[in-house]
């Protein structure tokens, strides 16, 4: 495909999307700069800042390492071994994605005396290992057994070549985990482990001088970007592309009886801790709580508010993502690359930092929307844009560009072609992306906490408030509903990975 001009009908809305996506980071820079070099230096050079950086990075490193170990071992057992019940474990392994980390943190805090670093590591590892498990499992089931057979025939073991070929998917998963941990707010706050995000929240709440919050936010963004860059550098130049589908499925490897028992125990324990424990905890508090006088009015109010803002968020996100997604899939050149990459900024921007920037911006320039739901909806759009753009791009890429060329040759303009061919064909994927954004937005905590209209509570903020005041039983219905909502995409993902294993 050569460099073609992007039609104005796509370019204009895509430019709006990109501007919106770049606004939070841009404004954070402006705001930090206003504090002057002095102010910035003062915040940066505090011993406390270094300590926070070490805590955040340490947490991210430990959780990522654990997730990689768990993710690869589980994926291998589910896809390549004769572990009994491996199909069930395949579903269970994806399910932790359905447990919002702050809900898991709530169940652990409510049940055992566990706080600080250990608690945070435990909760975050259990919630995020599927980010490694899923891509590795997918890569394992697509791997051409011929490579392994060649290694064996040359007198080498199979594990070397398998691990080597898993590197890109494991690294991509690890990157997600690291970014997720750096951005995490709810769970670490509940575990009372002070990191960047919680400190940003505290300095925002403490608030007259907001420069420190802005500077800390920016520093966190920089650290995240560094990790992204390091990952893409380390990917190296080896090509891991598959040529077509492998002809055969990789063979199943028989485990010895002892190993098998250990593997079974390991898989069961993980599923129990990551999925069973939160469910049991919520169940316990639902049934036995003494503070369990559920205010039905409050509950239905929270459900209504959650559904409302999440639906609006999903709609806006998808509408904004469609032009960028199409451009990313069908056009090349600097403009197209810039538009696509600018929407991915939200990806490396922790929710709390982005919310903070929106607060600053709204208070100064558009006070009319501050603490009104449109601002929250826009924030959702920026926050979840990468997922939506990715979904649109992937689904557009699935249909060959020649279809659009045929439409053009039959007299349709570029925009008419988008309407008559590109969008109808991409619709299932676009809708799936919208659904994913909808469900993710319902669980969102930090941005909602900062940007929601006064007096509005969503399921997430209500759970946060009740947990904060130690009312574990009162929090249980909210936790249960959140789990229920979040289970849907987890279930779908699990089914997909199951399809790949059968």
Partner 1 sequence: MRLTVTDVTKAFGGTRVLRGASLTVEEGDLAAVLGPSGCGKTTLLRIVAGFESLDSGSVAIGEREVAGLPPERRKVGIVPQEAALFPHLSVARNVGFGLPRGSSERVEECLELVGLAGFGDRMPHQISGGQQQRVALARALAPHPGVVLLDEPFNALDRSLRVSVRDEVRAALKRAGATAVLVTHDQEEALSMADTVAVMREGRIVQEGTPASVYAAPCDLGVATFVGEAVVLAATSDHGVASCVLGDLPQRANGVAGKGRVALRPEQFVLREPGEGVGGLVERVEFFGHDAAITVALEPGTVIRARTRGDVPHRPGDRVGVTVEGPVLFFAE
**In the bound complex, what is the minimum distance in angstroms from residue 7's beta carbon to partner 1?**
10
Q: Which of residues 49-88 bind partner 1 (CB under 8 A)?
A: none
Per CB under 8 A, does 415 bind partner 1? no
Instruction: Candidates 159, 337, 413, 469: give the one binding partner 1 (CB under 8 A).
Output: 413
Buried b (16+ CB within 10 A) or exposed e, 408-420: eeeebebeebbee
Q: Which is nearer to partner 1, 192 or 419 (CB)?
A: 419
For the record, the structure tokens of 101 come out as 């980390």
Nearest to 395 by CA among 317, 329, 439, 321: 329
Residue 334 interacts with partner 1 (CB under 8 A): yes or no: no
* 191 close to 119: Cβ distance less than 8 angstroms: yes
Indicate the residue among 427 and 484 with the shorter CB distance to partner 1: 427
355 forms beta bridges with: none
Q: Which two tokens stand for residue 196?
A: 């960047």
Is 405 a binder of partner 1 (CB under 8 A)? yes
Is residue 437 within 8 Å of 318, Cβ to Cβ? yes
Region near partner 1 per CB under 8 A, out of 244-252, 254-262, 344-352, 410-418: 410-418
Q: Report the alpha-carbon distance of residue 60 to residue 122 in Å, rounded.
A: 12
Of residues 239 and 409, the one with the C-beta less far from partner 1: 409
Q: State the CB neighbour count (10 A cutoff) for residue 281.
A: 22
Is 392 a binder of partner 1 (CB under 8 A)?
A: no
Q: Which of residues 394 and 420 has its CB atom nearest to partner 1 in the complex?
A: 420
Residue 373 tokens read as: 């739901």
Could you give the dihedral angle defined by the CA atoms of residues 262, 264, 265 and 270, in that order, rounded to the nearest 10 degrees?
Answer: 130
CA distance 174 to 159: 20
Number of residues counted as binding partner 1 (CB under 8 A): 19
Of 280 and 406, the one with the shorter C-beta distance to partner 1 is 406
Q: Which tokens in the block code for residue 143?
A: 């791997």
Distance (Å, whole) CA 444 – CA 301: 17
Q: Is the CB of residue 3 less than 8 Å from the CB of residue 333?
A: yes
> Which residue, 242 or 403, is less far from partner 1 as judged by CB?
403
Residue 239 makes contact with partner 1 by CB under 8 A:
no
Examine residue 398 and tell whether it contacts partner 1 (CB under 8 A).
no
Q: Which stretch binds partner 1 (CB under 8 A): 23-31, 212-220, 301-309, 403-411?
A: 403-411
CB of 402 to partner 1, least distance (A): 5
* Choices 134-142, 146-154, 416-424, 477-485 (CB under 8 A): range interacting with partner 1: 416-424
Among the listed residues 15, 179, 214, 421, the single contact to partner 1 using CB under 8 A: 421
Bridge partners, 253 (sequence order): 81
> Scanning residues 423 to 462, which ones bind partner 1 (CB under 8 A)?
424-425
Q: Which residues are near partner 1 by CB under 8 A?
A: 2, 399-400, 402-403, 405-414, 420-421, 424-425
């Amino acid at each position: 495909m050569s460099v073609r001009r992007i039609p104005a009908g796509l370019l204009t809305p895509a430019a709006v999307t990109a501007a919106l996506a770049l606004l939070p980071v841009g404004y954070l820079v402006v705001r930090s700069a206003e504090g002057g070099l002095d102010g910035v230096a003062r915040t940066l050079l505090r011993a406390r800042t270094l300590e926070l950086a070490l805590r955040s990075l340490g947490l991210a490193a430990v959780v990522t390492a654990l997730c990689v170990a768990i993710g690869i071992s589980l994926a291998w057992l589910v896809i390549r071994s004769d572990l009994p019940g491996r199909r069930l474990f395949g579903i269970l392994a994806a399910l932790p994605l359905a447990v919002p980390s702050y809900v898991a943190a709530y169940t652990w805090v409510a049940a055992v005396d566990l706080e600080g670093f250990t608690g945070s590591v435990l909760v975050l590892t259990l919630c995020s290992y599927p980010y490694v498990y899923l891509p590795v499992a997918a890569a394992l089931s697509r791997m051409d057994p011929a490579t392994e057979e060649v290694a064996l025939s040359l007198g080498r073991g199979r594990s070397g070549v398998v691990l080597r070929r898993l590197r890109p998917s494991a690294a991509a998963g690890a990157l997600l985990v690291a970014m997720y941990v750096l951005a995490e707010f709810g769970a670490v706050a509940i575990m009372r482990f002070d990191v960047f995000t919680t400190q940003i929240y505290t300095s925002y709440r403490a608030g007259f001088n907001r420069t420190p919050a802005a500077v800390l936010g920016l520093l966190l963004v920089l650290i995240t970007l560094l990790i992204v860059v390091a990952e893409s550098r380390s990917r190296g130049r080896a090509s891991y592309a598959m040529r077509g589908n492998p002809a055969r499925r990789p063979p199943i490897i028989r485990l010895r009886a002892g190993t098998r028992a250990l593997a079974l125990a390991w898989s069961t324990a993980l599923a129990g801790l990551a999925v069973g424990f939160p469910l049991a905890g919520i169940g316990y508090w639902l049934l036995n709580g003494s503070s369990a006088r559920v205010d039905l009015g409050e509950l239905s109010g929270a459900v209504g508010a959650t559904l409302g803002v999440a639906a609006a968020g999903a709609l806006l996100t998808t509408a904004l993502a469609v032009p960028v997604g199409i451009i990313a899939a069908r056009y090349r050149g600097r403009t197209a690359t810039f538009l696509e990459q600018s929407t991915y900024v939200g990806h490396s921007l922790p929710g709390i930092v982005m919310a903070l920037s929106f607060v600053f911006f709204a208070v100064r320039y558009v006070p009319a929307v501050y603490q009104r739901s449109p601002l929250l909806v826009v924030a959702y759009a920026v926050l979840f844009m990468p997922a939506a753009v990715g979904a649109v791009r992937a689904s557009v890429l699935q249909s060959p560009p020649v279809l659009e060329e045929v439409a053009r040759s039959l007299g349709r303009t570029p925009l008419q072609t988008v309407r008559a061919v590109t969008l109808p064909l991409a619709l299932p994927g676009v809708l799936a992306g919208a659904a994913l954004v909808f469900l993710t937005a319902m669980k969102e905590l930090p941005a909602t906490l900062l940007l929601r209209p006064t007096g509005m509570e969503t399921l997430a903020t209500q759970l946060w408030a009740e947990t904060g005041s130690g009312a574990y039983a009162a929090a249980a219905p909210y936790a249960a509903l959140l789990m229920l909502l979040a289970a849907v995409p987890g279930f779908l993902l699990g089914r997909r990975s199951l399809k790949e294993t059968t």
